Amino acid sequence: MKKQYIIPIFVPHLGCPNDCIFCNQKSISGQKKNMTKEEAKEIIDNYLENIKNENAQIEIAFFGGSFTAIDVNKQEELLELAYEYVKNEKVESIRISTRPDSIDKETLKRLKKYKVKTIELGVQSANDYILRRSNRGHTFEDVKKASKLIKWYGFKLGHQMMVGLPESTRIDEINTAKALIKLKPKMVRIYPVLVVKNTKLEEEYKEGKYEPLPLVQAVETCKQLVAMFVKKKIDVIRVGLQNTDEITNPDKKTSEVIAGPYHPAFRQLVESSLWYDAIVAKIKKLNVKVKEVEVTVNPTDSNSVIGHKKGNVLKLKDTYDVDLILKQDENIKPGKSKIEITKIYHDFLEE
Ligand code: SF4
């Protein structure tokens, strides 16, 4: 199987007509100045030099800002550069991320010309009040229109949504996931809101008008959302912002994050919690007192089954007095498992 690699090129805030309450693209991307063709080329060449895998499936991704809102000449300059690598078969595809109100037929035709494969839309919420409250500058109707058009032109559609926006509740976030599922994206990203320096949200937070989600609550909500998307076979390609020198623990000097549910292994917390629920559900189905459970998974899932800092092992022991034994099997697909009860209390007493 081919291993996927993404070459990220951040095009920060460039051309973005908006100032979303939570956004400081320059902090989030770590990119302080605008992207030039020369810089983009350097980034791509550096990545390519370091990817040694012969079976690599490489994609150039223009993240951040609103790619299709930037000056058309700049778009073409960056796309032309990326397309050269596709033509030379050094890279397989191109992806961009943008705002839903920066998509129209003409834009999509341009992206087609340069063989862009995937378009990710920043949706954030399906609730127009919450979108307005966060100063998104578009409605959910824009998301629907853009999503349909993107699919109609044959691109792969991706959505990005947020958890913990001002005045958004878990119900709103579940409703957003339901609304997105109806639009049939191929993939989604879920971002819990962090309070980043030099944003309007920072002001609101300092004035006591915005309270970020506690970590436990953010994990719980994301867990529900991930389960909903997975059930509909939609890839959840990211949960939580990528850790960088800037997006890191608020206690660190270099951190641009002031508050919010930051965790270096946020996705793992969510996945571990899903595994924990699956194991407990299996135990509860049986009408016996379980003493030991054996979970066999693909090696890639091992850490999530065990939990961050063995969290699941300890919680099962503390809550149910159950020992968790982990087994790995390459033949089991990632995300799938075999859960067997290997000892019940009766056996244990007889030992
Ligand atoms: S649309 Fe995107 S880049 Fe522009 S302010 Fe909002 S989040 Fe930031």
Cα separation, 215 vs 3, in Å, equals: 32
In a shared domain, residues 248 and 284: no
Q: Name the residue of 29, 66, 131 whose CB sits within 8 Å of the most ligand 1 atoms, as the mutation to test its pocket.
A: 66
Residues with CB under 6 A from ligand 1: 13, 16, 18-20, 23, 25, 65-66, 99, 122
Atom of ligand 1 nearest to the CA of 24: 8
259 CA to middle of ligand 1, Å?
A: 19
Q: How far is CA 332 from the centre of its chain?
A: 24
In a shared domain, residues 215 and 282: no
Using an 8 Å Cβ cutoff, are 297 and 336 in contact?
yes
In a shared domain, residues 88 and 114: yes
How does pLDDT run across 36-75, given as a tens digit for each residue? 899 999 999 999 999 987 788 999 999 876 899 888 998 9
HEC secondary structure over the chain = CCEEEEEEEECCCCCCCCCCCCCCHHHHHCCCCCCCHHHHHHHHHHHHHHCCCCCEEEEEEEECCCHHHCCHHHHHHHHHHHHHHHHCCCCCEEEEEECHHHCCHHHHHHHHHCCEEEEEEEEECCCHHHHHHCCCCCCHHHHHHHHHHHHHCCCEEEEEEEECCCCCCHHHHHHHHHHHHHCCCCEEEEEECCEECCCHHHHHHHCCCCCCCCHHHHHHHHHHHHHHHHHCCCEEEEECCCCCCCCCCCCCCCCCEEECCCCCCHHHHHHHHHHHHHHHHHHHHCCCCEEEEEEEECHHHHHHHHCHHHHHHHHHHHHHCCEEEEEECCCCCCCCEEEEEEEEHHHHHHC
Q: Where residue 330 sits, what CATH number does that domain have?
A: 3.40.1260.20
The answer to whether position 272 is within a domain reads no
Cβ neighbours for 189, distance < 8 A, ≥ 6 positions apart: 120, 158, 159, 160, 161, 236, 237, 238, 239
Cα separation, 232 vs 241, in Å, equals: 23
Per cent of the chain over pLDDT 70 is 94
Domain final position from 264, 291, 308: 264
Reported as a pLDDT band with limits 50, 70 and 90, residue 10 is confident
The answer to whether position 269 is within a domain reads no
In a shared domain, residues 253 and 290: no
Q: Name the residue of 10, 21, 24, 25 whose CB sits within 8 Å of the most ligand 1 atoms, as the mutation to test its pocket.
A: 25
Atom of ligand 1 nearest to the CA of 136: 6
Residue closest via CA to ligand 1's atom 3 equals: 65
Q: State which residues form the domain around 207.
A: 3-264
For the chain, the first-to-last Cα distance in angstroms comes to: 46
pLDDT in the model for residue 14: 57
What is the residue type of 88? Answer: N
User: For tokens 């993939």, what's the residue?
Assistant: 187
Domain final position from 219, 234, 264: 264
The answer to whether position 270 is within a domain reads no
The answer to whether position 271 is within a domain reads no
User: What mean pLDDT is reported for the chain?
Assistant: 92
In a shared domain, residues 106 and 250: yes
How does pLDDT run across 109-126, given as a tens digit for each residue? 999 999 999 999 999 999
Cβ neighbours for 226, distance < 8 A, ≥ 6 positions apart: 190, 236, 239, 270, 271, 274
The answer to whether position 110 is within a domain reads yes
In a shared domain, residues 332 and 209: no
User: For tokens 């010309």, what's the residue?
Assistant: 113
How does pLDDT run across 270-308, given as a tens digit for each residue? 999 999 999 999 888 877 788 999 999 999 999 999 999
Cα separation, 325 vs 23, in Å, equals: 43
The answer to whether position 93 is within a domain reads yes
In a shared domain, residues 47 and 189: yes
In a shared domain, residues 199 and 346: no
The answer to whether position 223 is within a domain reads yes
In a shared domain, residues 97 and 32: yes
Q: Record the tokens describing residue 98, joined without a space.
A: 């943008």
The answer to whether position 330 is within a domain reads yes
> What is this structure's pTM?
0.91
How does pLDDT run across 185-225, given as a tens digit for each residue? 999 999 999 999 999 999 999 999 999 999 999 999 999 99
Residue closest via CA to ligand 1's atom 2 equals: 65
Q: How many residues does the chain have?
A: 351
* Residue 90: Cβ-neighbour burial (10 angstroms; 0-12, 13-18, 19+): middle
In a shared domain, residues 58 and 84: yes
Q: Where residue 11 sits, what CATH number does that domain have?
A: 3.20.20.70
The pair phi, psi for residue 191, each rounded to 5°, is -120, 115
Cα separation, 43 vs 56, in Å, equals: 17
Residue closest via CA to ligand 1's atom 8 equals: 23
In a shared domain, residues 160 and 282: no
> Total structural domains in the chain?
2
In a shared domain, residues 302 and 341: yes
